[in-house]
Structures are given as structure tokens and as C-alpha cells.
Structure 1
Amino acid sequence: MSDHPERPSVPDDVWERFARDSERDIRASAPKEPSARARLVTQRLRRQDEQGVRPGTWRAPTASTGRRARRPIWTVIGVLVAAAVAVVAMRPSLLPGDPFGTRSAADTDTARLPAESGQPTAPPSSTSTDIPTLQHPFAGSPALNWAEGESAIVTPRAEPVGTMTKSQVATALRLTKTLLVDANLNPDTLSGKRPTAALDVLDPQQPSVLSDLKKSLATPSQKYDPLLLISRFDPRQARLVGKTVKVRGRTTFSAGDHGVRVHADYTFVYALSRGDSKEVTRTIVRRVIDTELDDPARYQVTAGRIQLIRYDSYWGNTACGVYDGYLHPQFLSAAPSGTDPTGPTSDPYDRSKDLGKADSKTCETVSRT
């Protein structure tokens, strides 16, 4: 006979209760999915850390909530819980959603918006607080899903209008697109070089327009400002991130006073960086131009050239009171340049409002970039 008495066997109902309690404790101690706001804040801070922006330049969230972290309940089955956590760490897809914020809107939200068929009725909503980076320069911007570059400027099918033939209307549309592309999308133009193709489509017989533009490029000033028609950045201060420029807008045509008039309304979004900094900012430019191709059989004009009837502009995120012929985007990590804005706060992405007559003396505060 053994010197030690046998241990009593455990009844089946006790083992079943132990198993149920253990399963409940595992579920209670499993990682909880963070709230959507918590994920956004974590994502924003991670983006800023990647950019190397100093904490002093961080933009604090407008509101915050305090929540206590719930500690896991470790029991005698702690080893099993640790094993489960290790499995989830290796395969986070086992958990629903994206609890650890490993995916960003910049990675997943890439569906292109349909072409703009008419004037919007409201500004685009704010759907993300992602911070732009060198890898994702349009993160957090309504322009993320806009079309890109020259292909975003879609001209309508040419049709005869008034005394102008279908071929003449097609020419007017083609020349207007050339003007927009070379003045706002050509990498050489954006880096400060002369927009030769844009100048070449303009009628030299139109009084003052072409000569004033050439003067503004040679000796820019408040009176002669090339930015009224042309987008340019000083390469010593800012450079494009990648080759992508986001574009949204529309082109229409109608009978003009002397031929066919083309109306173009487009917003261009430029992502920029400076020097060796990882910080990315954006400048938004909206152009509204009316051109006209006159009938050379009836009027004294240059065949195959267009005349500028109207050209209004809006710039979002550029230094105020600087008239050196360049857009000057503002960076959080750099001291602000220019003068303080004196105009009202505006949303540079809002295309629901008509663009009034350009006034280079008015500089507004932008609500977002």
C-alpha cells in the first residue's frame, strides 16, 4: 500500500464548468478592436513620426476622449492565452476589421471618381485625417481619388456651333487643353521654365494679353503676375513629390461673340516637399478660363490661335504678399513667409462656388490642404 492516499477524481461536471470558465476568460482577455477615432489618432501620429516632424509642430486633435485600458485577466491558463496572442500577432487577419491600424486610406481608397459632369452642389467631405508622406503625398486629401495629369482634362465631343464648323470647334478645344496642360502640368513649367507651348496657342493680335504675359515671366510683380495663368514653383524652395498632379474639373463650349467660346474650370493639387525634409504639403490652384476661337473669314485674327477672354485663379496654401512669380507653399517645419492673410477662411477644394474676379491683393486662410 502506498504511503500517500490517492487524490480524488474530478467529476465531469466540474471539468465542464472549468472549460467554460476558461473559454470565457480567453475571450475577455483577447485584444479589443480600438475605436475608429483611436485608430485615426494613432495613424496620424505614426505618419508624423515617419515625416520626422518635431512634436512642437504637431497639430493637436480638436477633441479627445479619455479611456482606461482594460488589463487582461490572467488565470491558470495564461500560457494558452499567450499562445493565442502569438498566433494573432503572426496572422492579424484572423481578427475582424483592421484593429491595429495597419492599413491606411492611402493604401485602400483608390477608386477613381467619375468625371465631373456639372458644377458640384457642395464641397467634398473630409473623410480622412491621414498625414501626407513621401510615399502617400495625397493621403488625407479629397484629391486622393481624383484623376491625374493630362488625362484628367477631358474635352467634350466637338459639334458645329454658330458659324463655326465641327473642325473649328475641335481646334478650339484642343488649343485650350494645350494651354491648360502646359501652364499647369508640364514639369518644366512647374519648375519655373518658360511655358512655350501655352504662349504659342495665344493670338498675338489680341491687344496686351500675350505681351503682358511675357512681361510677367521676365519681370514678375504685383501688376504683372504670371501666377494668374501659370503654376510655377521655385525649385530652390519646393519640389514636386513624384510626377503626379491631381486634377478635377470640366470643359464646355458654346457660341461666342465672334466664333466658338470654350469654358474651362479646373482645380490642380500639387504635393510638394523641400530639401531633405520628409514633410509633405500641398498647394491647390483653381483655374477658370474662357477662350475664343474667332472666325478668320469674318474677323482680323490669327488663324489657329485662341484669344483669352477671361482668366481667374485661386491659390490655396501659398505665401501672401509675395510677387516673385512663384507659388510658395507653407511647411509646418519652416518659418512662415510672406504677410499674414487678411481674407476670410476658405476651402480650396470647394468647387461648388463660382470663382469671382481674381484679386491678387486678397489672401485667404485655407481650411485644409
Structure 2
Amino acid sequence: MAAKGSTAEELDVDGVKVRLTSPDKVYFPKLGKKGTKRDLVDYYLTVAGGPMLAALKDRPTHLQRFPDGIEGEEIYQKRVPQRRPDYLETCQVTFPSGRTADALKVTHPSAIIWAAQMSTITFHPWQVRCPDTEHPDELRVDLDPQPGTGFAEAAAVAVDVLKPLLDDLGLIGYPKTSGGRGVHVFLRIKPDWDFIAVRRAGIALAREVERRAPEAVTTSWWKEERGKRIFIDYNQNARDRTFASAYSVRKTPIATVSTPLSWEDLRDADPDDYTMVTVPKLVADRDDPWADIDATAQSLKPLLEMVEADEERGLGDLPYPPSYPKMPGEPPRVQPSKKVAANWDEEGNPITGR
């Protein structure tokens, strides 16, 4: 609830007027008076004009909103309201269902502050840039700890397995904390391939990481098969799958931030050290570890060659999320423990007529 006497304000965001209402409403109860809407907006003001704008620039972006704070209702907003300020821009995206929507297109810091005013805690950009929303310019690696593992294990896989593999392939990755227990690594790529090709490239990369560290890594879509390993969520490269952006605050009691790090800093990092209270000073005091991410758009050719090699081994596509239509070449979406062997042939296709 807004405190008595809380009034609306008008902020000047790089020449654009953005209205701020209920600045004293508490969004992060554990932080008390340091966890208000004003604190959230002040945080975004420190990063919106620099590294965060660079991460979101021209990307269609979904908004994870909490109008009553993180302990209240969550709204995952994919469409920008029809009634919106004139300074906002939009970009049409197409979902797996074929439906379209006008998503927020971030072009100016005012868009970030407007979203924060609308109770956005976390920004979720697509891996494309407008107007070409059919060809990703990012390949994203999601190192997702499973029960019994945590950030330390994810960071170890990133530094000791993924980074050397990328070096072998002549590719450059840029890591960040997820803001939770996981690690994200982004690769800037040429927008020459569609979502299907980029996802398959991500699968090939994940499979090779798994081959190099089978006791620590899994690519299994089915939770019952993952065990105490780091799951590489290859489906984060599918259409309409989004990550928390760099410098986004997360829905955690201490307002952790998804923070870009150097490979050297990642190994010994503690994700709880990066919050909306601490990150502004970090950004001011250090060189940006992602400063060169847009310098070179990389080719997917090394990874697509790995796709071909996997296919020669008999390793084809992997399951899509259940919300997607059946995709060409996709294996059956049947949980292993529920699969009756007699109903499937040797190639994994269902036997009809039974």
C-alpha cells in the first residue's frame, strides 16, 4: 500500500517526461523502506541510459509485473496497452500459435522507466531485434541447476566446460548471473538463421557440453532423467522463450539483479551479492564486461556442423515445450516413465492401429 502523503511525481528521463505514482509503495517487504517502488525506479534510472539500454535496444520485450509487490499477484504482460504514452514504441511479434502482438520495443531509457512505473520488476526481451523478428541475433545458453545443485555448480560448468568449448570453436560468450541460482551465457550471432536453426545449434552446443561433463550436465527435457546435474535448457532458443535481461531485477526477497560478469569473476561469484542496492556502484566502478558484445556478429557454421555430426550419430531433434505445435522432426513428447515400449517402433515413432 502507498504510504499516507505519497504523491505522484514527474521524472525527466533523458528529455522525456515519465509520471511516477505511489513511489512509497513497498515492493520488496524484506527490504522495508529500501524496497519501495521509488527504490526500484531509482535503480533502473542508474542503468537505463547505459548498459541496460544496450541489452534491450530494439528488442521486443515482455514485462513481468507485480502491482502489489513481489508477494502479490504476478502479471506477465506480452502486449503493450492500446492506451500508452506517445513516447513508447512497439514491435509486432508472432507467437508459436501464429497469433501476433504488439510488444514493447525498447528504444529509449524512458521505456524502461515507464515499465518500472507500471510495476515491472523483470524485463524479458526476445532474442531478436525489430523489425526483423524472425531471425535471432543471440544464441542463449541457460545453465539451470536441478535439485541438489546450485549456482556454484552452474558457474563451474560455465567456466570449466562451456568456456573452453567455445574457445575451441572460435566463439565468444558473455556470461551473467540469472539473478537466481542459474547462469546465462549469450552469444551474439549474425541474424542469418531462423528460430529452428538457432535452436538446433543450441542443442548441438548443449550436447557437446554434456559429452564433456556427463556427470555434471544433462540435456534431458524430462525432469525424472536429470538427476543432480545442471540442465541446459536448449528450448530457451525457441520462439517466444525469453530470459531476464541483463541488469533486470528479479522476484527475490533481496531484489537480486541478473548481472553481467567477466569469466574470471563468474567462478567465485555469489549471486546474492548483486542486488538493486549494490549493482549501481558496481556498474560505476568497473569496466563493462559486455562492452564488446555487439562488436562481432558470429557465424553459426561451427555449431551447424555439429548438428550434422549429431545427426550422423542418430541424434536428431529434442522435444519442444508442450505449448508448441508439433514440430517437423521432433520426437514424441512422451514422458519416459509413461512410455509403453510395445507402442513404439525402433526409431521412436508411434505404432498406429493398436
Give me the TM-score of the superposition, normalised by structure 1.
Answer: 0.27
- Whichever of the two has the greater Rg, that structure is 1
